[in-house]
Amino acid sequence: MKAAIFGAGRMGTAIAYAMNKMGYSLYVIDRDINILNENIGGLEINNYQLEATDDLKTEVSRLLSNKPDVVISALPYHQTEIVAEFCIDNGIRYCDLGGSVPVSGEINYSAFKKATAPVMTDLGLAPGWINILAEQGFQQLGGADEVSMMVGGLPLVQYNNPLNYTITWSIDGLINEYRDDCEVLINGKIEEVHGMGGLVPVQIIDRYISDNLGELEAFYTSGGSSHTINTMKDRGVKYCSYKTLRYPGHCKLVRFLIDRCELPEDCLRHIFEKGCADNYHHGVDRRDLVILKTVVTKGDLSWNKEILVNADKGSFEDVKNFTAMQKATAFSIASVADIMARGLLDRDFGLDRRLNYSHIPYEEFNTTLNKLL
């Protein structure tokens, strides 16, 4: 089978690796030929073709002649809509990492109106994997009163800087998640709350994870819930929220910089870039980890799922070259892309035309993802 991947940055590279491991022939597109050769060419994968282009519309149109079984966009959200619209207009299965609630909304609405093949957005880590877990918990209990989703990308070693944090993805995306308002479901009604509000300590039940991480904190951030909040509201769920996990003290310090010091965005970017992303050059252990925690309750019943992804462990020797954030994000969307390419969502899309996380067969998803991790 064939897969086309747009974007050869950190996430696109890891997606290409995962799709290759599953036996796909790859067609990888990026505007920078040096990035393509360095990132994709260095993976020693089979059956791939690289294309460098500044004209997305022209390059997307060439996909028809290649007839991929699925298209995956790992582009920035402001570019991915071009790819999505072409796939929608030409009956090509499409999925992306998301990153923007308005853009994902436009893509999903367009798919509902005129797509003839499955289209899904927001399929990385958060949104993505964490929402699939929430759906799994909801189905396991046969409903829910409360759904709590929490995700943290953390440095393996605490206190490698005062923020207890290591940058493993977009700094601009991180700042937006912290500063933007968030939607939460409270007593059956969707409300907007401030980013970095709702700070609470978090208890990790899994002994192995808690022994490695110690105490954590959680607070509201935007974007991670995708359409799960609305889906749960329509089902009669009373409470649903998404929060970010960090080591204790991170939220208080960042809120001090944003609220009290009123630092502009470029200053915040500089602090994160120099304080949290430059550790390679200071001999600091920069390995990261990702933790996902989902709690679903229904009456006296409770479903709790905790997952830890390490950078230095994996099913394949060469997977250790990826960060935990790369693996958790890219391998999640690759697992869904494989489900889509095999036609397992075609029937549901034909019936509903509004695909959501409930349509993803989580046994298939978990099996594929665990093989990659």
pLDDT in tens, 361-370: 999 999 999 9
Residue 195 has pLDDT above 70, yes or no: yes
> Are 142 and 270 part of one and the same domain?
yes
| DSSP structural state of residue 274 | H
> Are 223 and 292 part of one and the same domain?
yes
Query: If you average pLDDT over residues 263-269, what whole number do you get?
Result: 88
> Are 41 and 119 part of one and the same domain?
yes
Helices (H), 77-191: 77-89, 101-114, 129-141, 171-179
> Are 266 and 172 part of one and the same domain?
yes
What's the pLDDT at 165? 86
What's the pLDDT at 280? 47
Q: Cα separation of 13 and 313, whole Å?
A: 18
H-helix or E-strand spanning residue 348: helix 346-352
- The amino acid present at 265, given as its one-letter code, is E
Structural domain contains residue 326: no
Compute the mean pLDDT over every residue in the chain, rounded to the nearest whole number: 87
Taken as a whole, the chain contains a residue count of 373
Residue 283 has pLDDT above 50, yes or no: yes
Domain that residue 191 falls in? 129-320
> Cβ contacts of residue 33 below 8 Å, gap of 6+?
50, 52
Residue 212 has pLDDT above 70, yes or no: yes
- The amino acid present at 297, given as its one-letter code, is T
> Are 120 and 136 part of one and the same domain?
no
Do the Cβ atoms of 20 and 48 come closer than 8 Å?
yes
| Range in 49-53, 88-92, 188-192 the model is least confident about | 49-53
pLDDT in tens, 51-85: 666 677 777 777 677 789 999 999 888 889 989 99
Structural domain contains residue 325: no
What's the pLDDT at 311? 80
Nearest alpha carbon to residue 372 among 131, 42, 14, 110: 14
Residue 112 has pLDDT above 50, yes or no: yes
> Are 36 and 92 part of one and the same domain?
yes
> Are 11 and 37 part of one and the same domain?
yes
Query: If you average pLDDT over residues 158-179, what whole number do you get?
Result: 80
- Give the number of domains in the chain: 2
Residue 89 has pLDDT above 70, yes or no: yes
CA angle in degrees (0–180, nearest 5) for 208-151-213: 30
Structural domain contains residue 357: yes
List C-alpha distances in Å: 175 to 178, 202, 252, 257: 5, 22, 15, 12
> Are 114 and 133 part of one and the same domain?
no
